[in-house]
């Protein structure tokens, strides 16, 4: 049998969305399609395992009825073949099949039953029958797939496509891949680390951390991945995402991270991580001020954010869950860089403790349904001595282009970016983006990091001379100096000349 390649799989899965068009809102496609995809995958792999067991033992009863012999046990009444034989009350049958699967596989508890197929006004038997027939045309055994991680990659594709279709609602569970890739590259996770996303959505940031480990040839099994998600439907998608990527050991908790953090140690304290990465809801209105006022975990030591702006609540939670040498990266709206009052005091406290390593300004219209510009806030509990009491910021709007519904990365540009402790610049032959930077001491009581008012154009950053990458530069620690970076030294305080451009710049 011919193996299924990624393009064929993506095309087949996207066609299932066309079957649903007109019946339900685009924002709800993911719930039903992901549920059916996962159900079909479980049945096909179960059959594959059963055939192997039967060939080895000759015992049909063991092959089909012994849960210990299967990664996921699929009882006969929950099997795909049983569902496709039905013609009436298909929604109720799918719900019951999911219940049986959860009963027999504790790791699936709450994952499949989060989707209700038994709504005949939105999903009549005729629509469900078409979906069942459509998915029946695709066998999803391990031996059918051209590459091991193909289902996971197709799943990522669908999540992105559904976010595009769903618009604003899609942005609630999906962060553009370009942003995730950039943030993960900056944070640079390694094997043996504990990684957490406290607002994990569909789990894309955690999955990208695993892709990063694979890219640097490290053991993808030797990393601890944790997350928490408030929305039950999105949490279920995240769990399925992890399982389809073969990451069954990932711990994803349901619940509100601010009001009720679930990732706790045996003593009831917050678990600590080497890397914390997140894209929390922008400026959340009802974020949990009433709970934070008497927070038993003492997370808000820099102050309580305003009731209508929860951004710094998530930032402070992330800081509180970092190990002594931990690093964090968070996607935030630009407002957190300059808003005053309580947020200004929180920002001042973070800077005075040397926790802020870098700010990356991102363009507007980058996120689905959110036209405001955003930024990456990079936090480091162990800033190198040479960088103490300093902050470094820049903007890079040129590496993105305007798309149909949002701003996208320019072709292959992000793959060509090198990073160096907050500096990101293109390699040779890549069109130079507009890069801005700021470098100063945190000495005032009214500290603004607003990129449009306090940053200077730095022509050195448009040079085509390549820098060493972020990972190599961090190994040098305080030994970093201008001799290692002939065209740009981020720790410098004097003028340098760009020999190619003939321009001068002073770093303050």
CA 54 to chain centre: 41
75-83 contacts: CB < 8 A, separation 24 or more? 75/100, 75/101, 75/104, 78/104, 79/43, 79/46, 80/39, 80/40, 80/43, 80/44, 80/135, 80/136, 81/43, 83/39, 83/132
Q: Are 151 and 244 in contact (CB under 8 A)?
A: yes
The candidate with the shortest Cα–Cα distance to 96, out of 27, 136, 39, 28, is 39
Q: Are 133 and 84 in contact (CB under 8 A)?
A: yes
Fold of 172-410+441-448: Rossmann fold (3.40.50)
Beta-carbon neighbour count of residue 188 at 10 Å? 17
The candidate with the shortest Cα–Cα distance to 163, out of 408, 368, 370, 371, is 368
The per-residue pLDDT string of the chain (508 residues; one tens digit each, 9 = 90 and over) reads 689 998 999 899 889 989 998 878 877 888 899 899 999 999 999 999 999 999 999 999 999 999 999 999 999 999 999 999 999 999 999 999 999 999 999 999 999 999 999 999 899 999 999 999 999 999 999 999 988 778 888 878 887 787 766 544 444 546 778 888 889 988 999 999 999 999 998 899 999 999 999 999 999 999 999 999 999 988 998 999 899 888 999 999 999 999 999 999 999 999 999 999 999 999 999 999 999 999 999 999 999 999 999 999 999 999 999 999 999 999 999 889 888 999 999 999 998 888 988 888 777 777 655 567 888 899 999 865 544 544 444 444 444 444 444 445 433 334 333 333 333 333 223 333 333 333 344 333 344 555 443 333 333 333 333 333 334 444 444 333 322 222 233 333 322 223 333 232 222 2
Q: What's the whole-model pTM score?
A: 0.78
3-class SS of residue 29: helix
Report the distance separating Cα 68 and Cα 316, nearest Å.
44
The class level of CATH for 6-165 reads mainly alpha
Give φ, ψ of 457 to 5 degrees: -65, 130
- The residues spanned by each domain of the chain are 6-165, 172-410+441-448
Beta-carbon neighbour count of residue 148 at 10 Å? 10
Give φ, ψ of 191 to 5 degrees: -60, 150
- The residues pairing with 395 across neighbouring beta strands, listed in sequence order, are 361
């Amino acid at each position: 049998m011919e193996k299924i390649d990624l393009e064929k799989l993506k095309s087949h899965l996207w066609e299932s969305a066309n079957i649903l068009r007109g019946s339900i809102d685009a924002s709800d496609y993911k719930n039903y399609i992901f549920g059916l995809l996962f159900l079909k995958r479980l049945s096909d792999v179960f059959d594959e395992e059963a055939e192997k067991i039967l060939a080895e033992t000759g015992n049909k009863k063991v092959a089909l009825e012994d849960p210990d012999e299967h990664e996921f046990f699929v009882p006969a009444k929950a099997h795909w073949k049983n569902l496709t034989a039905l013609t009436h009350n298909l929604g109720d049958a799918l719900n019951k099949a999911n219940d049986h699967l959860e009963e027999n596989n504790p790791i699936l508890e709450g994952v499949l039953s989060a989707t209700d197929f038994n709504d005949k006004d939105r999903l009549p038997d005729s629509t469900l029958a078409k979906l069942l027939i459509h998915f029946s045309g695709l066998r999803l055994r391990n031996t059918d797939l051209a590459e091991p991680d193909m289902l996971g990659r197709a799943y990522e594709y669908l999540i992105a496509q559904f976010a595009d279709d769903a618009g604003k609602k899609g942005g609630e569970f999906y962060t553009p891949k370009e942003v995730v890739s950039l943030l993960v590259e900056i944070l640079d996770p390694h094997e043996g680390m504990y990684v957490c996303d406290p607002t994990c959505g569909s789990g894309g940031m955690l999955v990208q951390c695993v892709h990063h480990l694979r890219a640097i040839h490290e053991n993808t099994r030797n990393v601890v991945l944790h997350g928490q998600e408030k929305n039950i439907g999105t949490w279920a998608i995240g769990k399925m995402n992890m399982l389809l990527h073969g990451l069954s050991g990932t711990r994803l908790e349901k619940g509100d991270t601010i009001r009720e953090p679930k990732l706790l140690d045996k003593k009831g304290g917050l678990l600590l991580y080497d890397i914390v990465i997140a894209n929390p809801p922008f400026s959340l209105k009802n974020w949990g001020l009433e709970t934070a006022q008497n927070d038993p975990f003492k997370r808000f030591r820099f102050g309580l954010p305003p009731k209508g702006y929860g951004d710094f609540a998530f930032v402070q939670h992330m800081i509180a869950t970092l190990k002594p040498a931990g690093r964090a990266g968070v996607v935030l709206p630009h407002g957190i860089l300059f808003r005053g009052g309580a947020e200004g005091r929180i920002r001042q406290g973070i800077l005075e403790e040397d926790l802020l390593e870098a700010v990356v300004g991102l363009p507007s219209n980058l996120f689905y349904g959110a036209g405001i510009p955003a930024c990456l806030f990079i936090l480091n509990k162990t800033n190198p001595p040479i960088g103490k009491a300093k902050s470094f910021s820049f903007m890079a709007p040129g590496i993105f282009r305007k798309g149909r519904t949002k701003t996208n990365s320019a072709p292959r540009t992000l793959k060509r970016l090198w990073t160096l402790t907050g500096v990101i610049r293109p390699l040779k032959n890549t069109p130079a983006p507009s890069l801005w930077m700021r470098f100063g001491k945190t000495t005032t009581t009214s500290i603004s990091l607003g990129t449009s008012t306090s940053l200077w154009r730095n022509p050195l950053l448009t040079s085509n001379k390549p820098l060493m990458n972020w990972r190599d530069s961090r190994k040098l620690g305080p030994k970093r100096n201008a001799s290692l970076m002939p065209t740009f030294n981020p720790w410098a305080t004097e003028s340098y000349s760009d020999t190619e451009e003939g321009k001068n710049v002073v770093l303050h």
